[in-house]
Structures are given as C-alpha cells and as structure tokens.
Chains A and B, each alone.
Chain A
C-alpha cells in the first residue's frame, strides 16, 4: 500500500518535470535542425512549434542589428540574398498567440571574398629551374582556381597556358629557351567569375640563376649600391703542377703577391700580382693523424690569413692545426689547439690575426670561436651548438675590424654574430632567405679597409657587402666583362683596389679591379 503511494507520487513528479521541460523548450522557440551554406544560398531548417501560426526569420549581417528577413508557415527557408565573405547570424521566431518564441542564434560565414575584394593574385616569384618556369603567387580569398596566361610581348595578347588550384604552376609546354615570356594570372571563384589580370611578370627562359638572383634583389626594394668590378684575370693553373683542385682561400702580401690554398692538391701556390706562377709549397700528409703531420704537409688546407709582417697562417681542417709560413714558403711553426676527448678535432675554418699578435679562430666542429695566442693556448672561447646569441651551428669565416669587433659567420643559422675583443656579444644580422641581406650558406667574410664586410654565400652564389653594423649595401651576382660566374664562392681578399675571390668548383681565383 505504501509502495503504491510512492509510485503515484513518483509518476506525478516525473510528469511535472516532462511538462516543465516541454514548456521551457517551447518557450525558447523553434529548435534548430540545421543551418548551412550550399550552392550559393543559406539553408535554414527548424523544428515546428505546435502553437505557432508562422515563423519569422531574423538576420543580422556583420554584427549589425537583426531585421526580419521574411515570414513563412514552413519550417525551412533558403536565403538566396547572401554575399561572399560575409558573416550572417540567423534566428527563428515562432509566432504564437502569446507572442514570439525566439530560437537560439546560428552564425553562417559565406566563403569567398567580399564584393569588390575578389582580386587578382599577387606574384610571389617566377624562376627557371630544371627546364621549367615555376610561377608562385599568393592565395586569393574566394578563389576556386587560377588561370595562367602567357605572352611573348609585354602587355600583349595573352594565351591561356594552364589552370591550377594551388598557388603555383610549372610551365614548360611550348616554351623555347632564350625567349622572354610575360605572365599574368587571374583567379576564378565558384561561379567561374574571373578577376582581371594580375600584374605582369616577365622572365627569360634560360636566365641564369645569377640573373634571377639579381632580378630578385632588384625587386626586394632595398636600394643597393653598384660596385663596379672590372675583370682582370683568373688563375686556375699552378705552372707545371697543373690545375688547382677546389681552392679555398686567398691572401695577398705586402708585395701584392697572391697566395692560394689549393685544398685537394694539398699545396699553397704563390703568384705575382700579374698572375704569373712563382712557386708552391706543401705535400700531402701521409697520415691524416695530426701527430704524424710533418712540416709543410697538408691534408685539407682550408683557411688562410696574413699578418702585417707577411706571415701566412694556414688552417688545416683535417690535420686540425694551423701552420705558419713566411711569404717565401718557409715553415715557421705549427699551432695546435687542444681539445677534450668529448670534442671533435680542432677545425680552423676561419682565422684572423689581432693587432697584439693573438689570433681569433673558428672551430667549426665544436661550434665556437676562440682567441688563442701564438702557442695555441686558449685565451677565451665563445659558443656552443645552438641558435641563441653567442651560440653557433658550424661557425665558418671570421674577421676582425680596426676597432677589434670580431665578426663570425654562423653558417646554419644564416647570420653573422659580432663580438667585442673580450668575446662579449654585440649584435647579429642576417637570416635565412634569398633576398638582399639574407643568407643561404654564408661562408667567408672579409673586412675591407673602409670597414665594410664582404660575405660570400655558397648557396646563393653571391657576395654581399654590409656596413660594419650589418646593413646590406651591395650584392654581387654577375660580372660584366667576363663569362665567369660565381660558383660556390669562398675566400676573398681586397687590396690595392683589387678584389680577389675564390670560385671553388670552377677551381679558380677571379681577380677584379674595383671601380
């Protein structure tokens, strides 16, 4: 008996809860079944409200006030009056005898660009590579595809050569090497409406990488100075010893004599200032182990520098030492830097001599640079592997200014870090990139007497000239009176109005007159 009473009471409470929920739901207006954008219109569908006589569709555009779009007795509606790139908010009111019962709000974003904003693509770049012309542009909101047009004349009659859904295209069909082509782009939206042409971009099919690089720099907006270089001669052969094999560095002594480290022939060659071969020294080290390396033997003579007394320092990255010679090739001494068992062997990729006779050297394998004395004793060292200030990932060339500012090439970080004479970080400049002031594989650095820093780049095949503070001022990619081009350039020297640069893979030294 008592159980039956409890049962009735429970059932009553349950019914009251159901009624309350139903009332509450009904009071909140129609429940949404769906709201979506498809085929250019917004579809709305909701649940019926029993007591309603009709439904009002409210719409707000871009955060504005709601207005009644229309009324209907149905439980669905298609809004065809929508614009691309616009956000609409909908709500449905069920009209009852007690007033309007409002639904919750639904927000719909209409894809595409706003009216008037469906624009042509903007160029990122055009480049010839591997026998194709590669076109890149930015994404245009609301675009479904892009058309690529080509002409042989600027502003001329463009021919549709292809379409792409991505923001890139590789053009080859029908192109002829040596021809210059002019490209424009359009964007297409879902209705196949096409934008006007983009700006025109031209490229010579067959343009060298250097020509392309020069064109990119010209487009970068940085105003660069023109450094006039007149080609004088190149050096590839060391007399009867034959051709050089991947030379690395060059220094000039007080007489104007040219010294080149011929890495894979394990020799240092000396030429007079007209390029006449004079003499060589150096033999291949029989063993790669430094403890058996004999005087004037090399495994991989990589870096050089010269002091005011014409003493030539040669860094050997496989023998892990620096040998010092007179400018007649006489061995003076060997400098070794001790490394711990956990460290790689000393790799002097870059050497510079300070006024006090001490040296600053990079040690590529151990990601540091050091100040050492003439015995190889480390006076201080800076760096470990990393990308923060005073950290390096394979430091390479090094230079010291008249003000004793030490500039260190930080290859993989694509930057130059500068330090005071005590190794305190001053600044850095450069980042990865292909435009002026950026680097691909910076290699060697040479400080000219005017304080400007000349930096060779083995990936971009370029030499850039920076102010002492790191502002790019010039970029050298091509030469006017020679067919020689830069190919993996490395060591440089400037003296008596001449610019000397090692071109590694062509196995040569290029000599130019500046100005």
Chain B
C-alpha cells in the first residue's frame, strides 16, 4: 500500500507540470508555435530572478501575473485585451487573492479551453455568464460586501434575458467617480455617479429610452413603463423620491438607499427593496420623525379608518395597503398587507407613478393642486 501511495504521489507531482505543459501546447499561449521551448517564453528554469520562475518580476500598475501578461498583451504580441483588461485607466474585476490566474482565480494562463470559452477561463458558465461560479446563491468569500450577490439575476423580472454582463464587465469597466454604496469595485459599464446623484447608471435604463451603454437587452425602459424612474422628465421640474443629498435632510446615496439590485431581501415584489414594505413599514423605517422630513406623530392618519367606504370607488383611486400594485407584475405588491388600511402609498407614489402635475415634488399619487383635489377624494364624503 505504501508503494501504491508513493506511486500516486509521484505521479501527481509529475502530472502537474506535465498537464500545464500539455495544456499550453497548441494554445494561444504556445508562443513558439512548434511545441519546443514551450515554457521559456515566460519562465526560466534556473536562476530565475522573479517569482514563479519568471526571468524577472515585471513592475507596473497591474496586479501579480498581469504585469507579466502585459509584456505581451500590450499590442506587441497580441491585441487581445489591450483596450479592456490591459487598459490601465479602466476598472477591472478584483483579483482573487493576489492574482487573476491560479488557485481560485477566474483564469488559468496554462489552460485555454476548459469550458470552451477560449479565454483561459476556468470558472463555469452559468446563465450566460461566468460570474455565478463565485457570486451565486452561496456568496463567494470575500465578495459578501460587494452588493450581496446572493441571487445574481433577480434584479430583472424577466430573468431569462438578463445577465450580469448587461450591467457589469469584468474588464474595462468605467471607474466610479464616487461610491456612496461603499462598493470598491462595481465594474459597471458606466459610472453610476458621474454627476449629482448616485444611480445615473440605473437611470440609463430606467429613463424611458434605450440604455446608453448596454449593448444588448430589451432596449431599456419605456417612458410609460412603471420602471421609468427618471428624475426629471416631462417639464423637467418634477421630482420623485429624493435620492440626492440635500442640505441636512436626505442621507448620501441614491437608488441604493432603498434598493439593492441583487438582493430583494424580504420583498416578493419587483421593487428589489432592501426591506419589506408591507403596510409601508419600509417607508416609516426612515420617516419616523427623526431621519426623514415631516413625518412622525403629527402627520396624517394611517391605519384602518372607521369609514372604510370613504376610499371605495373614488376617482382617482387611492389604494389601500393591500391594493397597491405598481411593481410591474400582476397582483398586489404586498400580499400580506392589511385590508382597508391607509398607508403612505395610499397618497404617495415614490416614483410618481400616475402624477405629472405640480405636486410631483411631494410625489403625490395624484395632483392635489390649489383645491386639494387629492384630499377631497376621500374627505368630500364628510
């Protein structure tokens, strides 16, 4: 048995470099092209001055082996990746450990085609991307803080057509100007906060036009779509729920204050809120008279009014908690909401669904105007 174990160990030790040798041969990293001197393009067997038997340790702005890769992927040997992965001014996927190739990393420079990608990728393709190997149902260790990637494609209601690559790119992403969400490496296709508010990239789709940078997909969110969350449409003055830092009132951030595109924790709706909003619980988690403006004890009654008929059959309709239906999918948004209960959303629609009038600043569900039309929708009965 000892002999057998020895044999297995010896074979394993031998097979490691041999397998790398065999995998490189004939691949795009077979620089000699004829199978001779296969390793010497990158390695030197004796007196190597650099790590990993490299002739030298290259210096540069890239990480680990990528600096060595750049000595070829700078256009001199190949143009592959010159404008993306080896574009030093763009944002790249964080490396796993210290390198982009090797144990635990996405690439193995010695193996070109383990999954037919041709890109020396060793991660598995799932749902049209290579992300979910790490960012799948089980968060990858070290990536837990990167947006709770617990369900990579839950952002979009039509998950079959939506992949990570429509918002992210592992190489050549636009560097984020500022990052209130605390993500160090969002690798988005476009800056999510190039100007005033965080969420510009979100709104590049949710603006009623085709996405500015997405190269495929549905063509964006139509102007009439309930997911059209543009901050300024129509007359350019209306506002929806504030996402911009304003003096002392709203915390810094943007869409991310309420939404997490990857983790609709606690919500069964398409809102992808960071917490459940049944009976406006999520609204009042901020509007508790301390952290948000003018909502607290001395505010309009919420609850089940004694005269529930007051809000029945009115035009325009002011929905009870269990009647709110704005998430784009059929049926009530909050299925366990209380029947006949007046909640924040009875009067407000944070993204101004339905109202384009002068009261948009309060993101009222319907125009109130000088005659308090919205108030009277209920209160005329009394």
Contact = CB atoms under 8 A, between A and B. Distances in A.
To the question of whether A and B form a pair in one complex, the answer is yes
Interface of A: 124-125, 127, 129-130, 136, 208-209, 213, 216, 243, 245-246, 248, 263-264, 300, 302, 317-318, 347, 349, 364, 385-387, 393-394, 396, 411-412, 432-434, 440-441, 443, 458-461, 485, 487-488, 490, 504-507
Contacts of B61: 487, 505-506
Interface string B86-97: 011100000000
A393 B59 contact: no
Given A125-B47, A245-B89, A459-B56, A300 B32 contact: no
Given A317-B79, A394-B76, A432-B55, 8 more contacts: A246-B89, A264-B89, A386-B34, A394-B72, A394-B77, A396-B76, A411-B77, A488-B60
B56 A507 contact: no
B31 A394 contact: yes
Nearest to B57: A129
13 contacts: A125-B47, A245-B88, A246-B89, A264-B82, A318-B79, A387-B32, A393-B33, A394-B31, A412-B41, A440-B71, A441-B71, A458-B70, A488-B58
B71 A488 contact: yes
Contacts of B58: 440, 458-459, 461, 488
A412 B335 CA distance: 66
Contact of B87 (A125, A208, A246, A434): A246
Given A125-B47, A488-B60, A412 B79 contact: no
A487 B74 CA distance: 12
Interface residues on B, range: 35 or more
A186 B51 CA distance: 25
Interface of B: 31-34, 36-37, 40-41, 44, 47, 49-51, 55-62, 68, 70-72, 74-77, 79, 82-83, 87-89
Most buried by B among A433, A487, A488, A490: A488
Contact of A505 (B32, B60, B72): B60
A129 to B, nearest CB: 5
A209 B59 contact: yes
A506 B59 CA distance: 11
The 6 closest A-B pairs by CB, nearest first: A441-B71, A385-B33, A505-B60, A394-B77, A458-B71, A412-B31
A245 B87 contact: yes
Contacts of B82: 263-264, 300
Most buried by A among B33, B56, B74, B82: B56
A349 B76 contact: yes
Nearest to A216: B49
Contacts of A504: 74
Contacts of A300: 75, 79, 82-83
A35 B24 CA distance: 47
A443 B49 CA distance: 20
Given A434-B49, A505-B61, A505-B88, A460 B56 contact: yes
A130 B97 CA distance: 13
A129 B32 contact: no
Interface majority SS on B: helix, strand, loop or mixed? loop
Contacts, number: 117
Contacts of B57: 129-130, 209
Nearest to A434: B49
A387 B82 CA distance: 26
Given A364-B76, A393-B33, A458-B71, A440 B88 contact: no
A385 B79 CA distance: 18
Contacts of B36: 387
Contacts of B74: 246, 458, 488, 490, 504
Contacts of A507: 88-89
Nearest to A367: B33
B87 A412 contact: no
Given A209-B56, A209-B57, A412-B32, A263 B75 contact: yes
B136 to A, nearest CB: 31
Contacts of A216: 49
Contacts of A433: 44, 55
Contacts of B51: 129-130
A455 B75 CA distance: 17
A173 B302 CA distance: 66
A443 B76 contact: yes
Nearest to B36: A387
A412 B36 CA distance: 12
Contacts of A460: 55-56
B77 A412 contact: yes
Given A129-B57, A487-B59, A505-B60, A411 B76 contact: yes
Contacts of B40: 432
B70 A364 contact: no
A279 to B, nearest CB: 22
A460 B50 CA distance: 11
A507 B89 CA distance: 10
Contacts of A459: 55-56, 58, 68, 71
Nearest to B60: A505
A262 B56 CA distance: 27
A264 B84 CA distance: 10
A508 B254 CA distance: 37
Contacts of A485: 59
B37 A387 contact: yes
A364 B77 contact: yes
